[in-house]
Each structure stands twice: as structure tokens, then as C-alpha cells.
């Protein structure tokens, strides 16, 4: 059934979620069906990588975006990049439909995150490149976009937004895992963030430090590769604790204030300070330590840690996290697992979340809570754009 308005409060909708994260590596496309609450059926997933040329454009746009003073500002070439990015998202959706033998008429909504280029929650400013009306017209589908802005305008950090979806995932866990409660979902993307869930209680969530961004920058600066595959480079190195503490102490203090992070909040490790291997290992250690320290801000210690995002595949980060949390891989009382152990794609979770949030948005359900972003009250969000051309 095609979405036609907010009055369709009780039906399930088919939504495509689109995510382009802080790693700047490409577009994640995922399909799910949900009523916006606990009814949940996850569908297929596809990643469409950016070209090296466009990835470099996005990286440069982060510096240009520092000139933005108001959300609608597009200094320099940001307007052109926004058009190009939107068109790439449209192409990604059409490719997804083709690969999975779906028709546009099978889709009720598209949840469009866009590309964050500036995030200053202290002044209520968060900017994601992405033209919602253009995407709706190119696809001929309703598009929900700009889902962070209302939270930031109401005193929230504008992130993280996935906790509402994590709560639905938790409600649908296989019974074998339900004894390990509370559950903590940790997304190790460019930035790490977590969601703590204890049954039906309101979720707690916050950014908890650097994820992959510093490691990615480090290995790229040394040998031009985009990431440390499987954490192999880091596994050959040693932790330099002096360098690690230069990051951990100030970042932990900043995180204790409950702020949301941007990739520009982290100073890249300067080439030449450490060897390639020691730098990758030290940065993996930093990521793990900051995640572990975050549990001090939670109501109680989680018993099940569920890892998603690219960092879950970095075996060095995962090994360091076991040590930082003092959890044996063979423990029966507490576990650190990948989302795939729950039959959940760790690559798809963020894109799925954006589809789920789009459904909640059109139904007028809250996207964020005081315990997830620090917003003043339960907060709805998102702009719903119906197609006006090619519809």
C-alpha cells in the first residue's frame, strides 16, 4: 500500500533507508518493512561505493563546510556537490531495485540521511548535504529527510538517531540471547556510538569516541589504502600508551559532557610519530578504551555487546575491546558478538535504521528521547517530501 499520509498509523510500510556515513566510502541501501514500532521484517541490502574522485570531493567539502553559519548555507562548491550526491543516491536506489528485482511501486518511503558535513550541536547546527525534493522527484517516491535538525533545534545533540531502531531489534532478539540483558548495540563506524537497552525502559545512547576514522586516515596517509582490512596492520604493532593517553584523556572528558562528535573533533595522528603498525594498533586501542569507558555512564553494565559498523571486522579493535571490558571470548555471563551472530547485517544496520525512522516520521512517532540525545522531550523529526514530478 502506498503511503498517502500520516493517517495510516497502524499499517506496516516498506521503506528503503539510505546512509552515507563519516567514513565517506559509499551509499548503504537497505529495505525493511515495519509499523514503526516492534513489527519488523528486514529485507535485502546493497552498498554502492563512491568513486575515489567523489570521495575526495566529499573530504574537501568538510573544510568548505566550516564556513557554514546557517543550515541552508552552501558556500563554495557545496551546492554542486549536493546535487551530485543526491543523484548518486537516486542511482543507488534504482540499482538496488534492479539487483533485487523490485519495482518502485513496491516501496512506500525512502529515508534519506545525506552526508553530514558539519555538526555543531553546541549551537544547534547540524548540516547534511542532500536535496530531499530532488531525490523524491528523481525516484517518484515519497522521501523523508533532514531527520536530525529538529532534535538539534530542541536542545538535543542531533545524534545518535539509531536507538529507536535498536530498541525494535532488541524486542525481536532470538530467545537464546534474551537472558543476556541489558544489551548494548555499538556501531563502530567513522565515529563510535552506542545504545543501551534494558527491556522496555527508555534507551540510553550517546557517541562514545573515535571509531575507524583515525585508523583510516593513518593507513591512507602511509600507503594510500582506505582502511586496515581485518585489523591486520594493527595486529603487527604495539600500543604506544603515551600517544594513546594524549587522545583518551581529553576525549573522555569531552564525552562525559554528553556531546555528539564529528570527524573533525579528532586530530589525525601525524605521520612519522609512530611506525605504520604501531600507529594502527595504538589507534585501535584508543577506540576500544573509549567504548569501554562509556559504560561508566550507563545505568548498569551490559551483558551483551553487539558490534556493527566496519569496526566490527577489525580484529584488533575487537581484541582490544575484549581486554578493555574484561570479557573472555568464552564467557557465559557476558558476551561481545558481531551483529551477524543475531542474523543482523552489521553493514546494513544504519541504513535500516534510516528506513525505520522514516516510517516513524510519517506516523508522527518520536525519533529521539532525552536519554538518547539530551533533547528536551520526546522529539519527532524529518521532512516528508512527496514527488511533484515523474510521480
How confident is the model over 86-115, as pLDDT tens digits? Answer: 999 999 999 999 999 999 999 999 999 999
* pLDDT number for residue 9: 64
pLDDT value for 119 = 87
- pLDDT band, residue 330 (cuts 50/70/90): confident
Q: Supply the Cα-derived Rg of the chain in whole angstroms.
A: 20
Section 112-134 average pLDDT = 92
Q: Is the pLDDT of residue 230 over 60?
A: yes
Higher pLDDT, 20 or 259: 20
pLDDT at 264: 74
Reported as type and span, the H/E element at residue 374 is none
Class of the CATH domain delimited by 175-342? alpha beta
Q: How far is CA 345 from CA 64, 182, 307, 309, in A?
A: 34, 21, 10, 9
User: Looking at the predicted structure, is the pLDDT value of residue 146 above 50?
Assistant: yes
> Does residue 1 have a pLDDT over 50?
no
CA distance 79 to 62: 13
CATH of domain 13-156+350-385: 3.30.420.40
pLDDT single digits (tens) 59-89: 999 999 999 999 999 999 999 999 999 999 9
Same fold, 13-156+350-385 and 175-342: yes
Domain locations along the chain: 13-156+350-385, 175-342
pLDDT at residue 225 is higher than 60? yes
- Residue 224 three-state SS: coil
- With pLDDT > 90 as the criterion, what percentage of the chain qualifies? 73
How do residues 235-278 score in pLDDT, each as one tens digit?
Answer: 999 999 999 999 998 888 888 777 777 777 788 999 889 999 99
**How many Å apart are CA 336 and CA 327, to the nearest integer?**
8
pLDDT of amino acid 3: 47
The Cα 266–Cα 247 span in angstroms is 8
* Of 5-14, 29-38, 214-223, 282-291, the least confident: 5-14
Minimum mean pLDDT among 103-107, 316-320, 328-332: which range?
328-332
Does residue 182 have a cis bond before it (omega within 30 degrees)?
A: yes
Mean pLDDT, the chain, whole residue set:
92
Burial code (b: 16+ CB inside 10 Å, e: under 16) for 62-97 equals: bebbeebeeeeebeeebeebbeebbebbbebbeebb
Structure pTM?
0.85
Amino acid at each position: 500500500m502506498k503511503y498517502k499520509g500520516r493517517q495510516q498509523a497502524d499499517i506496516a510500510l516498506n521503506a528503503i533507508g539510505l546512509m552515507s556515513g563519516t567514513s565517506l566510502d559509499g551509499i548503504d541501501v537497505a529495505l525493511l518493512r515495519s509499523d514503526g514500532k516492534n513489527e519488523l521484517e528486514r529485507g535485502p541490502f546493497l552498498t554502492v561505493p563512491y568513486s575515489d574522485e567523489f570521495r575526495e570531493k566529499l573530504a574537501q567539502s568538510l573544510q568548505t563546510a566550516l564556513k557554514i553559519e546557517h543550515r541552508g548555507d552552501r558556500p563554495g562548491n557545496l551546492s554542486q556537490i549536493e546535487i551530485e550526491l543526491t543523484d548518486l543516491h537516486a542511482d543507488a536506489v534504482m540499482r538496488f531495485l534492479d539487483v533485487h528485482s523490485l519495482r518502485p511501486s513496491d516501496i512506500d518511503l525512502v529515508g534519506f540521511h545525506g552526508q553530514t558535513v558539519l555538526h555543531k550541536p553546541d549551537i544547534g547546527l547540524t548540516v547534511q548535504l542532500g536535496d530531499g525534493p530532488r531525490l523524491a522527484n528523481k525516484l517518484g517516491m515519497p522521501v523523508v529527510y533532514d531527520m536530525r535538525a529538529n532534535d538539534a533545534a530542541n536542545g538535543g545533540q542531533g545524534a545518535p538517531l539509531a536507538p529507536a531502531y535498536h530498541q525494535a531489534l532488541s524486542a525481536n532478539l532470538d530467545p537464546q540471547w534474551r537472558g543476556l540483558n541489558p544489551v548494548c548495540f555499538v556501531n563502530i563506524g567513522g565515529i563510535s556510538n552506542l545504545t543501551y537497552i534494558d527491556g522496555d525502559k527508555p534507551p540510553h545512547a550517546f557517541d562514545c569516541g573515535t571509531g575507524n576514522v583515525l585508523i583510516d586516515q593513518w593507513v591512507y596517509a602511509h600507503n594510500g589504502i582506505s582502511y586496515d582490512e581485518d585489523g591486520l596492520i594493527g595486529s603487527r604493532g604495539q600500543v604506544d600508551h603515551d600517544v594513546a593517553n594524549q587522545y583518551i584523556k581529553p576525549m573522555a572528558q569531552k564525552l562525559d559532557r554528553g556531546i555528539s562528535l564529528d570527524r573533525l573533533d579528532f586530530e589525525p595522528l601525524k605521520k612519522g610519530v609512530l611506525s605504520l603498525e604501531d600507529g594502527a594498533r595504538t589507534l585501535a586501542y584508543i577506540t576500544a578504551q573509549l567504548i569501554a569507558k562509556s559504560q561508566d555512564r550507563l545505568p548498569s553494565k551490559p551483558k551483551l555487546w553487539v558490534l556493527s559498523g566496519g569496526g566490527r571486522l577489525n580484529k584488533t579493535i575487537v581484541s582490544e575491546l575484549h581486554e578493555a571490558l574484561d570479557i573472555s571470548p568464552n564467557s557465559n555471563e557476558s558476551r561481545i558478538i558481531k551483529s551477524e551472530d543475531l542474523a543482523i547485517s552489521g553493514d546494513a544496520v544504519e541504513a535500516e535504521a534510516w528506513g525505520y525512522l522514516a516510517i516513524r516520521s510519517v506516523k508522527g512517532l518520536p525519533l529521539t528521547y532525552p536519554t538518547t540525545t539530551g533533547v528536551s522531550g520526546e522529539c519527532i523529526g524529518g521532512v516528508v517530501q512527496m514527488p511533484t514530478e515523474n510521480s
